[in-house]
Amino acid sequence: MTETKRSGSDLPEGSPVAVTTERRTPAPPPATFIGMPKFPKAAKKSVADAQLRRNLRHATTAIREKREHVVAEVPNWEDLRLAGQAIKDRTLRHLDHYLVQLEESLTRAGATVHWANDADEANRIVIQLTRAAGADEVVKVKSMATQELELNEALEEAGIAAWETDLAELIVQLGHDRPSHILVPAIHRNRSEVREIFLEEMGRYGAPAPDDLTDDPARLAEAARLHLREKFLRAKVAVSGANFAVAESGTLVVVESEGNGRMCLTLPETLISVVGIEKVVPTFADLEVFLQLLPRSSTAERMNPYTSTWTGVRPGDGPQDVHVVLVDNGRTKVLADEVGRQALRCIRCSACLNICPVYERAGGHAYGSVYPGPIGAILTPMLRGLDSPIDRSLPYASSLCGACYEVCPVRINIPEVLVHLRNKVVETEKRPTGWGIAMKVGGWMMGNGGRLGLALKGSELAGRILPGDHLGVVPLPGPPGAWTNARDLPVPPTQTFRDWWKAERGNHSNDKGEQR
């Protein structure tokens, strides 16, 4: 794309910022998520990064502790969780009805509804609408759906600049990076790293960072505000997602903490909202439940600082050309899975990431998806399928400790779905694996009492031969050593249970002289 210049004279009169800016958005990283290696290999690289582990441990620990405090303030928290689960389940059972109702309500309110079956269709609609508005740039509210669709890359290819306005998303974009967390996309960066990114990159795409910029959070936020202000004031088109879409009224809802969303949702002439079909809720009253569950579970706040709701077009107030793109992109496939469909309850709070011991050590990039952590380990392979190595590895990216289920505000039983997906991976395995062969041999052996007896005798012999260490465990040689390096394999007993039973009870009598 040819880079063009826009001078401060092009900005609205009275604009507080007037600098020369490049209209080209920062280039994305060279590799897409799909091209990443499977989880074990990616995680091994992440775990070796000591700075990354420190950043993640500090951030997730702080969020966990704050969440625990604000959740404890609510005496009926478990009732709220049950209500959130019930609302989502009822909606998913009748999703076809509520989507039609949502379309009718949106149309009645003056919005235009578009349906997109997949990412290509959704991106094509957004590009066409942006060009129809005569714009070559958009400002964006933080949106997981648009990241899932890789909308920014599609817009860039079409010659349209996409400016992320959420602070963390801005850090990721300017750093030519990829998000690693649902709520805090730049959680893998510390303040010093953010300062360096701002100093090096901001001036290339708009108002530069001050030369005396420090790593004080307030100074970093101020630099971001100044950098983004000109983009807000001149933008003709904004792109958003939605946390919720109310079927009965056609109301879309965005919750955020910085005010950038409010700027995007009110200033531009055209607003395009890209919304996954699972975001619908039946009634406005249902929001009461989720607006209590979401802030406490995500940012550990009692209420989000900004809760924006808009219903179609209001003459003379806000965008006058409102479009809603309802996206499937694999969601109906997930809905058809009786066990896995509960993943569509997800309200993108990220509580499961913040509690997960695997995520805390491996980070988000290892998951190869915009949805990292426990929810990503189930949602990503269900949306994309089990065809790629990384998607087949994700159901195993968990210790099944169950902490994610305990904190999930809508009670998604992530361990249950992980086991369900692991079974699917095994069932679709096209060639024999060491694990599969071992399970078949084990099943054959345990399927017959005689064969099991012989195996136990072999175990007894192994207990006499194998040398155990001072803790009584056996370190296996060769490839099996990778398993025992992280787990304890006790030395097999030198007497089988059957032999012990015969010796202790087989021919003895009880006190009454009866044969045992």
Q: Does residue 360 fall inside a structural domain?
A: no
Tell me what the pLDDT averaged over the chain comes to: 89
Asked whether residue 312 falls in the same domain as residue 444, the answer is no
Asked whether residue 203 falls in the same domain as residue 83, the answer is yes
What is the C-alpha to C-alpha distance for residues 55 and 194, in angstroms, rounded to an integer? 12
Q: Does residue 319 fall inside a structural domain?
A: yes
Confidence of residue 470 (pLDDT cuts 50, 70, 90): low
Per-residue pLDDT reduced to its tens digit, 170-197 = 999 999 999 999 988 999 999 999 999 9
Helix (H) or strand (E) holding 321: strand 321-327
Range of the domain at 491: 434-506
C-alpha dist (Å) from residue 393 to 28, 36, 149: 25, 12, 21
Q: Does residue 474 fall inside a structural domain?
A: yes
Q: Does residue 391 fall inside a structural domain?
A: no
Q: Does residue 144 fall inside a structural domain?
A: yes
Residue 344 vs residue 451, higher pLDDT:
344
Per-residue pLDDT reduced to its tens digit, 265-301 = 999 999 999 999 999 999 999 999 999 999 999 999 9
Q: Does residue 102 fall inside a structural domain?
A: yes
Query: Which DSSP symbol is given to 345?
Result: G
Q: Domain boundary residue among 279, 297, 331?
A: 331
Q: Domain boundary residue among 305, 331, 357?
A: 331
Q: Domain boundary residue among 331, 354, 374?
A: 331
Candidates 46, 66, 70, 68; CA nearest to 56 is 46
Asked whether residue 461 falls in the same domain as residue 325, the answer is no
Per-residue pLDDT reduced to its tens digit, 12-71 = 333 333 333 455 677 665 444 555 788 999 999 999 999 889 989 999 999 999 999 999
pTM for the model stands at 0.84
Domain count, the chain: 2
Q: Does residue 380 fall inside a structural domain?
A: no
Q: Does residue 258 fall inside a structural domain?
A: yes
DSSP 55-105: HHHHHHHHHHHHHHHHHHT-TTHHHHHHHHHHHHHHHHHTHHHHHHHHHHH
Q: SS3 string of 216-259?
A: CHHHHHHHHHHHHHHHHHHCCEEEECCCEEECCCCEEEEEECCC
